[in-house]
Structure 1
Amino acid sequence: MLEVVNANLLVGHRITRILPVLKIPRSTYYDYLHWQPSRTERRRHLIKQEVLTAWLRYPMYGYPRLTILLNQQSDIHVSQHLVYQQMCELGIRSRMVKRINKPTT
């Protein structure tokens, strides 16, 4: 959206003419123009980076161990569920496979 508006502004059109043609409210345009990520988004992005670096260092660890590791190493407290969500978003998982004991007869 912003690219189309900027291209028209460079050509010399006025913003008061561009936005009604594109059916974009002025408030939406200016909100989009001045948008910044929220505190929660920045925190989750930081946690995602830390999860990835910890997993690259210890690829055998799953989310419970990574949670313990992150809580010990960093000053940010994270829950197991959050670490699990971040690992799913990154598409990573523990390389350790749980053994299955077959029942004996």
Structure 2
Amino acid sequence: MKPNILDVWRTFKFYGYRRIAAYSQQTDGPKVSEYMTLKLMRELGIKSRMQKRYRKPKTVVTVDQKPNLLTIDP
């Protein structure tokens, strides 16, 4: 099973354990569950090479906040 996982990982370096497990289900090789794929990837010391997704920066307010308009004068 390890050589099959290594072959898939060498071909698709960005695949994680879930995709490798799904790929093994679709091909003619041995069927490997997600958990077993994760364990074998840890043993082999391989990881997915995904880039972090771009996160849009949050809106920043540049205007000072208005004071509370509902003030009660004594």
TM-score where L is the length of structure 2: 0.67
- Structure 1 distance, partners of 2:21, 2:33, is 7
Identical columns (%): 39
Q: String of CA shifts for 1:74-101, please: whole Å, max 9, x gaps.
A: 3422110100111111110111133263
- Structure 1 distance, partners of 2:17, 2:32, is 11
Letter in 1 for 2:22: I
Unaligned runs of 5+ in 1: 1-46
Residue 54 of structure 1 deviates from its aligned partner by: 0.7
Q: Is 66-75 or 80-89 further displaced after alignment?
A: 66-75
Unaligned runs of 5+ in 2: 60-74
List 4+ stretches of structure 1 deviating above 6 A: none
Which structure has greater helix proportion?
1
Letter in 1 for 2:42: C
SS at match of 2:48: coil
Aligned length: 59
Bigger CA radius of gyration: 2
RMSD: 1.7
Q: String of CA shifts for 1:49-86, please: whole Å, max 9, x gaps.
A: 10001100111111111111111113422110100111
- Structure 1 distance, partners of 2:33, 2:42, is 14
SS at match of 1:88: helix
